Structure formats: C-alpha cells, structure tokens
Amino acid sequence: MSGFLRLVRRDLRLALRQGGDAAMVLAFFLLTVALFPFGVGPEPEVLRRIAAGTVWVTALLAALLSLERLFLADYEDGSLEALVLMPLPLEIQVLAKALAHWLTTGLPLTVVAPLLALLLHLDRSGYGALVIGMALGTPTLSLIGAVGAALTLGARRGGVLLSLLVLPLYIPVLIFGVGAVEAQIIGVSARPHLLLLVALLLAAIPLAPVAAAAALRQAVE
C-alpha cells in the first residue's frame, strides 16, 4: 500500500508541476459546453433537453485529451522499464496511475459539471444524479483509458488510435450516465442506472490494470 500511495503522489506531483494537461482538459470542457448555446440557440427548453447528454459527451471527450500521456513520459525517459522491474506488481502501478489521472482530470470534471449544467438550464432534479453518475463514471473512463494508452504506447498517431480504441468502450458509461439524469428528471428512480455504473467500475478495477499491464510489458520488450 505504501508503494501504491508513493506512486500516486509521484504522478500527482508531476501533473501539478506540469499543470498543462489538467488545465487543457478543464478549458476544453468549459469552452465546448459554452459553445452549445451558440450552436443550437438560447431557448431554455432546447438546452434543457440536451443538457445531460451535452455534459456527459463533452466530459468523455475531455477525459481523452490527457490519456495519451498517461504512460508516455515514463516510456520516453526509460522510467517504464524501472517500473516494470519494481517489486510492486505492474497491475497495481497501473491502478495507481489511473487513480492519479482521475484525481487530476475526472474529479475536476465532476466538480465543474453542475456549473455547466446550470448554463444549459438542466432541470434541478437531475443535479444529484449528474454528480453521482460523474463520480462513478469518470473513474471507469480513466481505467478504460489506461488500457488504450498502454496499447497505443509508442505507436504513430497514437492519439487518433487511442480514440478509436477507447470511444466504443466508453459508450455504456455514457448511456447509463445520461440515463440516470433523464430518469431522475422524469420522476423515475435513477438507482438502476447508477448501479450499472457501479458494476462497470467494479468490473474495470480488476480487469483494466491486468490488460494495461500486459500491454506495457509488451511495449517494454
């Protein structure tokens, strides 16, 4: 556990020292959502209908922006080989990196999402489901993204390939996240959708690190 926490702190320090990735993700999220009223019109009813989907799709795309660099810096400076040789299992290291990625991208997106939903006139009854859904869904995005980042490590046009690999796997999170908000707005319980998000997260926690670790070992070899 101490090795896991040290690795999380290391990645957080690096992310905060650079600062650009987290700021870029938030800026993309803010600007993209802010553009929608200009594109579809300022009518509150129109914006209210598309609010949940707009916030979730934009958050999903924003999370993709920093995924390519999840393992890239370690790969380029040779640190990845040292990480593979560490006593701490590589799967646990992947989990630590995914957690650090979520803390620097997914958590800020979750915090900012209600403010942007307010801009889109989301019904008040949907805010709780939006925040809970984002808190459950964004860690799954980071874990799935870690697999894609490991598979495309060192590839030409890795960012494009990463998007093609990861976006189809993000669709269930998107469906259940938006479904939870819509269900709450129409007066139906959001619990089934949120439980499905929990199930996706519980499945991703053990499976994604194993797949990503296997891809990283292949990249090092």
Which has the closest alpha carbon to 143: 91, 208, 93? 208
Return averaged pLDDT per consecutive 10 residues of the chain, 221 residues in all: 77 72 83 85 83 91 82 73 78 89 89 89 89 94 90 74 88 94 90 95 93 84 69
What pTM was estimated for this model as a whole?
0.88
Residue 143 confidence (pLDDT): 93
CA within 13 Å, CB half, 65: 20
If one counts the domains in the chain, the total is 1
> In this structure, what token pair is assigned to residue 119?
């801009």
Which domain does 140 fall in, by range? Answer: 2-220
DSSP the chain: -HHHHHHHHHHHHHHHHH-HHHHHHHHHHHHHHHHHHHHH-S-HHHHHHHHHHHHHHHHHHHHHHTGGGTTHHHHHHTHHHHHHHSSS-HHHHHHHHHHHHIIIIIHHHHHHHHHHHHHTT--GGGHHHHHHHHHHHHHHHHHHHHHHHHHTTT-TTHHHHHHHHHHHHHHHHHHHHHHHHHHHHTTS--HHHHHHHHHHHHHHHHHHHHHHHHHHHHHH-
pLDDT at site 20: 63
Nearest in space to 193 (alpha carbons), one of 60, 52, 99: 52
Q: Which residue has the tokens 């403010």?
A: 115
Task: With CA atoms as reference, report the closest residue to 149 among 86, 60, 211.
Answer: 211
Whole-number Å distance between alpha carbons of 153 and 161: 10
The first and second tokens of residue 168, run together, are 């189809």
